[in-house]
Amino acid sequence: MKKLNKLSLPLVVGSLLFTQSYALPSGGKFTHGTSGSININDKVMDITGKGQNSVIQWGGGFKIANGETVNFKGNGYNYLNIVYGSKSSHIDGKLEGGTNNIFLINPNGIVVGKGGSINANRVFLSASSIGDKEMKEFASSGTVSPVIKPNTKGNIINLGHIGTKNGDIILVANYVTNFKGSDSSTLGSFSIEAQKGYYFTPYTNITYDSWRRA
């Protein structure tokens, strides 16, 4: 596996960082036998699943602007978010998972902006596709197995903060680039599966108990 060429890095990042004013995630629907509520109050979205495992398909995209917050409610729940459309997911605000496990899948890529943050018990970000079979398995078990392989289009770029309380941080993409930091507790691990390469800047600050490359 080769590292991402530094000369090409600004082009990759630049293509994903021309942002505009976003709304909160839209078109969300609980599927595959799962149910719950999605409520919006000004710049805050609260998502509450009625069961242990929730599958939510977002037909209008999944983006969080600066100053906006998306809260996943519950305690120890598993939330699988599948994003449809042609645009990457930009997290420039706050995604708060609490003690829940958050899975976010967008084949067009995921960008955590400079002011963006993702905090949860466990964080799984993937720029890959997922089939109906995997969604059904998640609804019944709360897991995505085996680890989904990246496609040739989507990238994951972290300019902000990704943090977990007691779980793992797993990033799966064509390219995975970490500019700032991803922090997992002493009970977790940091895992990367990149089809073409991964890149850490000199400013990367990662703390972990164990390191493994998927």
- Per-residue pLDDT 10s for the chain (214 aa) are 334 333 344 444 444 444 445 579 999 999 999 999 999 999 999 999 999 999 999 999 999 999 999 999 999 999 999 999 999 999 999 999 999 999 999 999 999 999 999 999 999 999 888 889 999 999 999 887 545 555 557 889 998 999 888 778 888 888 888 776 566 554 555 566 555 555 554 444 443 333 333 3
Instruction: Read off φ and ψ for residue 81, nearest 5 degrees.
Output: -110, 120
Prediction pTM value: 0.80
Residue the block writes with tokens 């495992």: 53
Nearest 5 degrees, angle CA 125-CA 131-CA 137? 85
Burial of 205 (0-12, 13-18, 19+ CB in 10 A): exposed
What is the assigned CATH class of domain 9-201?
mainly beta
CA gap 136, 11 in Å, rounded: 38
> For residue 135, what is the enclosing H or E element?
helix 132-141
Domain segments of the chain as ranges: 9-201
Q: What is the structure's pLDDT at 154?
A: 84
CB atoms within 10 A of CB 136: 14
